[in-house]
Amino acid sequence: MGLIERKLPDNVLTTSVDTVINYCRKSSIWPVTFGLACCAIEMMACGAAKYDFDRMGIIFRGTPRQSDLMIVAGTVTRKMAPVVRKVYLQMPEPKWVIAIGSCATSGGIYNTYSTVQGVDEIIPVDFYVPGCPPRPEAFYDAIVALQQKIMTEKVIRK
């Protein structure tokens, strides 16, 4: 934020609309609760007392229509794939996706007849977090990276 000297009263700051909107967006990311497997338990642990995602403005929502982030935590199977896609489509723009765990990123150890080899086959993914399951710190890292990415986005003029 810059300060145009002498032209405005002292308590007026100037910045771009993009920055303000992005700043708001990055500080109140509401992910949709979408636990699929083991990694979802770590996601719950992130939301609970010790790691406490709330302090980053993250509040888990039960419905995709109120959220702007989808954390795909766990194994995506063929039976689940249409559901994942549908939940993604129900989310309003702007929306981001984080794939948590090796299952969601690449199928992980489950190279079998029923497992989708990476959730990026069905929805676009912004960040991949490796690990089986990743530690909550890795979740944090993904969120911080996402916040940085949000700050670079152009809102008014695409």
Measured between alpha carbons, how far is 34 from 48 in angstroms, rounded to an integer? 16
C-alpha triplet 146, 149, 151: angle, nearest 5°? 115
Position 71 contacts another protein (CB under 8 A): no
Tell me the closest approach of the beta carbon of residue 153 to ligand SF4, in angstroms: 29
Measured between alpha carbons, how far is 97 from 70 in angstroms, rounded to an integer? 5
The window from 9-17, 46-54, 96-104, 120-128 that contacts ligand SF4 (CB under 6 A) reads 96-104
What residues does 2 pair with on adjacent strands?
14
The window from 4-12, 14-22, 86-94, 140-148 that contacts another protein (CB under 8 A) reads 86-94
**Count of CA atoms in the C-beta half-sphere (13 A) of 69:** 24
C-alpha triplet 109, 124, 19: angle, nearest 5°? 125
Single residue of 17, 20, 132, 151 touching ligand SF4 by CB under 6 A: 132
- The one of another protein, ligand SF4, none whose footprint includes residue 80, by CB under 5 to 8 A per kind, is another protein
Q: Mask: binding to ligand SF4, 3-32, rule CB under 6 A, as x and -?
A: ------------------------------
Q: Say if residue 78 is exposed, middle or buried (CB neighbours under 10 Å; 0-12, 13-18, 19+).
A: exposed
Single residue of 1, 2, 11, 112 touching another protein by CB under 8 A: 112
Q: Given the rule CB under 6 A, which residues bind ligand SF4?
A: 37-39, 74-75, 101-103, 108, 132-133
